Amino acid sequence: MSELILILIILFLPLLSGLVGFISKYSSIISIVGVSFSFLFSLVLAFDRKVIRFEWLWVEGVVFSIHIDRISSVLIVLVNLISLLVLIYSSRYMEEDNGDKRYFAFLGFFIFSMLGLLMTNHLLLLFVFWELVGLASYLLIGFWYQKESVPASARTSFMINRIADTSLLAGIILLFRDGFDLTIGSEPILWTILPSILIAVGAFGKSAQLPFSGWLLKAMAGPTPVSALIHAATMVAAGVYLLVRVSPFLPQEVLNFIAIIGCLTSCYAAICAIVRHDIKKVLAFSTISQLGYMVLGIGVGAADASLFHLITHAFFKAGLFLGAASVINFMCNAHKNDSRDMRYMGGLTSKLPWTCRSFILCSLALAGLPLFSGFLSKDSILLGAWLFATKTGSWAYIISDLAIFTTLLTAFYVARMVLLVFFGTPRTNLTNYKYRESKRLYFPLVILGVFSLFIFFNLNPLGHSSYLIEYMGFPIQHLEGSIIPFLSILMVISGFVLAFSWFKPGAKYTTTYLKNSQPKSGLGIFALEGFQLGELYRRVGIAIYKLSLAAAYLDRQVIDPMLHFVSIGSVVGSKVLALIERFMVNGPVNLSASILAFLGKRFAGLSARDGQTQIIWLLVMVILILGWFIFF
Amino acid sequence: MQYLLSYIFLFPLLIAFVMLFIPSEHRGVFRRLALAATSVQSLLSGVLLYHFDKQLKPSSWEAAFQFVEQSDWINLGLGFIGDLRIEYYLGVDGISLPLVALSSLVLLIGVISSWNIREKVKGYFILYLILSGSIIGCFVALDFFLFYLCFEFMLLPMFFLIGIWGGERRSYASIKFFLYTLFGSLFILIVMIGLYMSIEKGGINSFSITAMLDGNYLEDSILNPAERGKIIGRPARALAFIFLLIGFGIKLPLVPVHTWLPDAHVEAPTPISVVLAGLLLKIGAYGLFRILYGVFPDMAVKYATWVASFGVLSILYGGLNALAQRDLKKMVAYSSVSHMGFVLVGLASLTSIGFSGALFHMISHGIISPALFLLAGVIYDRTHNRLMDDFSGLASKMPVYAFFTAVFFFAGLGLPGLSGFVGELMVLMGAFSTSVFGYWLAILAVLGIIISAAYFLWTIQRMFFGHYFVRESVRKENMFDLTSGEKAMFIPLALFVLLLGIFPNLILNYSNETIQFFINYISQFRP
């Protein structure tokens, strides 16, 4: 019972502190305090090492359950920790915004839903929280709802998520129909194909895999700390989390499908990240790409590696986004025009020293350089892909090779971003704006930067797993002597070298490149447009809207007029009947009456004349009658 | 306790009668009396909920009803035709009880939102109370004749309430509504006479609904399933099923006989839209539940695919139409068409989870759609305009209004945690797992969820997001946020939406046993 209370406290404290903050003056402090307590309690939970289960009947036939094992408890700590850091950062970042109360209330709601998602193993309850995190994301993307294009971005990202979520819901219901237990984690029985695919597609939606990846770019319209928490570290990883949970139940064909989509997404997004100028968009594509790695890991049967990458990625990507937030904030004040465009940046090292240091640490982790956390986790995924290829052969080798090649692309765009933002001299005239890196801003950054080092996850800098993964109960594989780590190091280094040779401060290419901002080659333009995915969404949306206009036309111009036709028809019919009544039924009656009246009038004159005429008429009649008798 | 249902049913009518004797100069008295009447009604419904035995496992339909009141009402000798025997027969089971409770809640909210009615106050509230009495009557009547009487009697006050207190095209809308529903009622009347000829109770023909449900058919009667009676070469029971589907389908409303609804909803004054969407549509659905599916289960099995197809058509067609609307109230009206389609799909699935889902969806929609009409009424009261394109950025001008709009819009689009989700989910679970129609229909129904998200979100984007802006032609001197009276209506509705979304068993506990019995009863007709 005490455990249930502990769980409920962890779950509801962020929500309550958000709500209380909304009606009080000190919203940020209340939120921070609430989430810190939630964090401390979740540490207690994680060290408890027990599996906790509670069940209750929701509706007849559906028993919801809370189930916390080691995987969930570690992830709960992770979510709480990153939320706490982002809240601390936001408390300074949002200070001048007059909607800050709403901001912290929404964030509290998000943390609540995300924790709830991690606490259940019932698919329907998971879906409930799955939608709630989607709502929180929608509210926070649309946080600056008065700005141009923000509302449309919020709606688009929610709708794309909704489509994928519907697929997930359909998958869950089909599982129910086929008689499977909706509680994950009992004995592994393979699910049937159709629900498995639908559930995988649902996960693709949340984790921004092809073809849903575009919503994450739209999501960048929100405040940047929100992007750090929701659209990099936690919510987008929910799809990966779901896949990790259900992967023992998925048939091999579906796993193959997942591996292919993951690999394609990771490569596609890395290409797009290379040509983008907007720092947030580069980071968004990089998130999509890294999520692609995680999905790939699940497909190739290395779910533990995916989970590991999820954790390391949460740290360094949150760090990168918070760093980008500082950069954008600085640019916003120093250079009014376009605060997110990397072409206007450069030489920010001296202006933002702490931001720069932690940003570089996180970048190296993202690139996957040895000694950093990203190397450990990405390497385990690559290793998993390679093992999978040796087992499956043929097309699986392409997947494995493509994944390794993508590390080169990753290193390239990471180096390009860092060089363009921090090194060289400022490329535009910056005002004399003096940016004060307050403690609340750089403390979270430094923490996240430090957590990008290998030492927190594995003492061996060239290893490919972590004690965390061991703690979660996955078997540790020992695969020493493989060529993969060296191959990936080679790729990273060549990526760096290429980037340095093109974007080295002062290099000729840099200046020309920055002047002619648009890429010239077809592939470049194509990549800049995100492979026309946005266009695809727009067309689908327009098609649906046209369909709805057609339905409205049908309703107003066909169905209703039919009704009007019937009613007008009955009125016309009644008018016709009235005419018939007037001329054909009533007419003859009146006609005979008027004939009689006419005759009557004519003959009435007879009696009115004088005596002589009457006698003459009498004689005429007598003659006529006599004639009748004589001749007939 | 014994006459509790009669009190709930007749009390508003009594107050309406009392109102007749109060001179119309005392304008303030009427609304207070109406408030008192509906409050007493709600209290009595609370007592009813409290004393209802949820665990009762019925052995027959006759035994399934509680709080039964039964006495002779009309007995007429009709010469060679036989006798006309009508009873005053009331009772509630797990299906009608939640609807009675919902009705008293919505009627109470309706009175509160009528507070600002200025014209012809006396007539308005008398008609309103007559309406509320006949609505409750529909849900508690167990004699088909009494049911039909209440069903028809609703039209009269509704006709005047729309036709006198309505918007610009009120006369058109009220006539359309009246004729449409009257047309539907004729079909019901025909079947009612047919059933009276075929049903016996104690050896005599009877209108008793329980006797119909239990299948006490006379030998050699036209609707006796064993006789396979035919009318102009068609099976009589199939014809009766189709007639009832049309009759109640018009009320539901079912595409393509739904076109009265957008006009009536849009032209009706706000409180009447609230009652119309919240309760009148539910009476159509209740008729389907009780009479169509209760009395003709064999046909329900036979025509399941057709009924479900019409349900899916309503979901998709209503949703697409809602997406195309520019008038806020019309959008809400079409969303009702879409949502009632889910009820029909749940019924057609003939599974216990589908039936529970349909009932729950009725209750949930009975709370959400009144709230949506009240929201549309708020903006109309202030500006005499409801066109979405004429507003923008209302969230910054009227934040509380925006908050409640978001709550009910998200409830409407089926966000988990709010009540709209539960009904849709259970209906879909029923539709996917049933064996009476293929699951391709269920997949089509799922698409409705996406469309509903599209129109609600787009409306939020257009009206509430962006810079604050109101078209020149709009009166804008009155753009203030919700008053405390308006909050008093929205807060309880929002709480109910949240509560039912988290604990659906608050409703389903009442209905589980009845629905279980219902499904077992139907299952004997399945091939």
Please write the tens of the pLDDT for every residue from A569-613. 888 998 888 888 888 888 888 888 889 998 888 777 666 567 787
- Residue B395, pLDDT > 60, answer yes
Contact list in A for residue B352 (CB cut-off 8 A) is: 60
In order, the DSSP letters of B182-209 are HHHHHHHHHHHHHHHHHBEETTEE--BH
pLDDT of B309 reads 92
Of B37-46, B130-139, B206-215, the range with the lowest mean pLDDT is: B206-215
Query: Looking at the partner chain, which of B321, B422, B432 has a beta carbon nearest the beta carbon of A548?
Result: B321
Q: pLDDT tens digits, residue range A434-471?
A: 667 777 888 888 888 888 888 777 777 777 677 777 77
Strand B200-201 with B204-205, pairing = antiparallel
Separation between Cα atoms, residue B49 and residue A79, nearest integer Å:
44
Among B183, B250, B320, most A C-beta atoms within 10 A, so best to mutate, is B320
Q: How far is CA B99 from each of CA A622, B152, B475, rounded to the nearest angstrom?
A: 93, 19, 39
- Asked if A154 and B454 come within 8 Å (Cβ–Cβ), the reply is no
- Residue A113, pLDDT > 90, answer yes
Q: Give, as one character, the DSSP assignment of residue B79.
A: G
B85: part of which helix (H) or strand (E)? strand B83-92
Name every residue in A having a CB less than 8 A away from some CB of B: 57-61, 124, 127-129, 131-132, 135, 142, 145-146, 150-152, 154-155, 158-159, 162-163, 166, 169-170, 173-174, 176-177, 544-545, 547-552, 555, 559-560, 563, 567
Separation between Cα atoms, residue A13 and residue A108, nearest integer Å:
8
- Residue B369, pLDDT > 80, answer yes
Contact list in A for residue B504 (CB cut-off 8 A) is: 58-59
- Asked if A174 and B325 come within 8 Å (Cβ–Cβ), the reply is no
How does residue A420 score in pLDDT terms, banded at 50, 70 and 90? Answer: confident
Residues in chain A: 632
Contact list in A for residue B416 (CB cut-off 8 A) is: 127-129, 131-132
pLDDT of A379 reads 86
- Asked if B466 and A145 come within 8 Å (Cβ–Cβ), the reply is yes
Report ipTM (2 d.p.).
0.89
pLDDT, mean over chain B = 88
| Burial per residue of B199-224, b for 16 or more beta-carbon CB atoms within 10 angstroms, e otherwise | bbbeeebbbbbbbbbbbbbbeebbbb
How does residue A509 score in pLDDT terms, banded at 50, 70 and 90? Answer: low
Q: pLDDT tens digits, residue range B269-326?
A: 999 999 999 899 999 999 998 999 989 988 888 888 999 999 999 999 999 999 888 8
Q: How many CB pairs under 8 A join A and B?
A: 124
Q: pLDDT tens digits, residue range A137-157?
A: 999 998 888 888 888 888 889
Q: Give, as one character, the DSSP assignment of residue B293.
A: I
- Asked if B466 and A559 come within 8 Å (Cβ–Cβ), the reply is no
Q: For A563, which residue in chain B has the nearest alpha carbon?
A: B259
Task: State the pTM of this model.
Answer: 0.89
- Asked if B449 and A166 come within 8 Å (Cβ–Cβ), the reply is yes
What's phi and psi for A120, nearest 5 deg? -115, 155
Q: For B393, which residue in chain A has the nearest alpha carbon?
A: A146
Separation between Cα atoms, residue A168 and residue A479, nearest integer Å:
36
User: Per the structure block, which two tokens stand in for A208?
Assistant: 């921004």
Separation between Cα atoms, residue A400 and residue A381, nearest integer Å:
10
Among B429, B456, B459, most A C-beta atoms within 10 A, so best to mutate, is B429
pLDDT of A476 reads 65
A101: part of which helix (H) or strand (E)? helix A100-119
Read off the pLDDT of each residue in A54-60 and give the average, rounded to a whole number: 81
Please identify which residue in the block is written with the tokens 């009227």.
Answer: B398
Contact list in A for residue B324 (CB cut-off 8 A) is: 545, 548-549, 551-552
Among B335, B426, B450, most A C-beta atoms within 10 A, so best to mutate, is B450
Query: Looking at the partner chain, which of B422, B429, B453 has a beta carbon nearest the beta carbon of A159?
Result: B453
Contact list in B for residue A559 (CB cut-off 8 A) is: 256, 259
Of A40-44, B85-89, B388-392, the range with the lowest mean pLDDT is: B388-392
Read off the pLDDT of each residue in A422-445 and give the average, rounded to a whole number: 75
Å between A32 CA and nearest CA of chain B: 25
pLDDT of A625 reads 92
Judged by DSSP in three states, B77 sits in strand
Query: Looking at the partner chain, which of A61, A142, A166 has a beta carbon nearest the beta carbon of B450?
Result: A166
Pick from A146, A74, A91, A86: nearest CA to A110: A86
Other CB atoms within a 10 A radius of the CB of residue A507 amount to: 15
Q: How far is CA B329 from each of CA A34, A186, A544, B265, B474, rounded to the nearest angstrom?
A: 42, 49, 21, 8, 17
How does residue A477 score in pLDDT terms, banded at 50, 70 and 90? Answer: low
Å between A112 CA and nearest CA of chain B: 13
Contact list in B for residue A158 (CB cut-off 8 A) is: 453, 457
Of A234-248, A507-521, A577-591, B41-55, the range with the lowest mean pLDDT is: A507-521
Query: Looking at the partner chain, which of A59, A145, A163 has a beta carbon nearest the beta carbon of B465?
Result: A145
Q: Please say whether the beta carbons of B218 and B151 come within 8 A.
A: no
pLDDT of B282 reads 92
How does residue B408 score in pLDDT terms, banded at 50, 70 and 90? Answer: very high
Separation between Cα atoms, residue A14 and residue A199, nearest integer Å:
29
Residues 6 or more apart in contact with residue A128 via CB below 8 angstroms: A116, B416, B417, B421
Read off the pLDDT of each residue in B7-34 and give the average, rounded to a whole number: 88
Q: pLDDT tens digits, residue range B318-367?
A: 999 998 888 899 999 999 999 999 999 999 999 989 999 999 999 999 99
Read off the pLDDT of each residue in A17-31 and give the average, rounded to a whole number: 86
Of A280-284, A353-357, A525-529, B486-490, the range with the lowest mean pLDDT is: A525-529
A254: part of which helix (H) or strand (E)? helix A252-275
Contact list in A for residue B460 (CB cut-off 8 A) is: 155
Judged by DSSP in three states, A56 sits in strand
- Asked if B324 and A158 come within 8 Å (Cβ–Cβ), the reply is no
Query: Looking at the partner chain, which of B176, B356, B395 has a beta carbon nearest the beta carbon of A145?
Result: B395
Read off the pLDDT of each residue in A184-194 and give the average, rounded to a whole number: 80
Q: Please say whether the beta carbons of A120 and A64 come within 8 A.
A: yes
Query: Looking at the partner chain, which of A60, A131, A560 has a beta carbon nearest the beta carbon of B415?
Result: A131
- Asked if B324 and A545 come within 8 Å (Cβ–Cβ), the reply is yes
- Asked if B320 and A61 come within 8 Å (Cβ–Cβ), the reply is no
pLDDT of B222 reads 79
Torsion, Cα of B274, B278, B284, B285 (10° steps): 160
Using a 10 angstrom Cβ sphere, with 0-12 exposed, 13-18 middle and 19 or more buried, the burial of residue B149 is middle
pLDDT of A608 reads 59
A284: part of which helix (H) or strand (E)? helix A279-299
- Asked if B446 and A170 come within 8 Å (Cβ–Cβ), the reply is yes
Contact list in B for residue A116 (CB cut-off 8 A) is: none
Query: Looking at the partner chain, which of A129, A176, A550 has a beta carbon nearest the beta carbon of B429?
Result: A176
Q: Please say whether the beta carbons of B147 and B209 come within 8 A.
A: yes
Q: How far is CA B15 from each of CA B8, B119, B132, rounded to the nearest angstrom?
A: 12, 20, 11
B76: part of which helix (H) or strand (E)? strand B66-77
- Residue A266, pLDDT > 80, answer yes
Using a 10 angstrom Cβ sphere, with 0-12 exposed, 13-18 middle and 19 or more buried, the burial of residue A588 is exposed
Q: For A541, which residue in chain B has the nearest alpha carbon?
A: B454
- Asked if A61 and B353 come within 8 Å (Cβ–Cβ), the reply is yes
Bridge partner list, B231:
B234
Q: pLDDT tens digits, residue range A513-567?
A: 555 555 556 666 666 666 677 778 888 888 888 888 888 888 888 888 887 888 8
What's phi and psi for B77, nearest 5 deg? -85, 135
- Asked if A146 and B466 come within 8 Å (Cβ–Cβ), the reply is yes
Q: Where are the domains of chain B?
A: 303-471+478-527
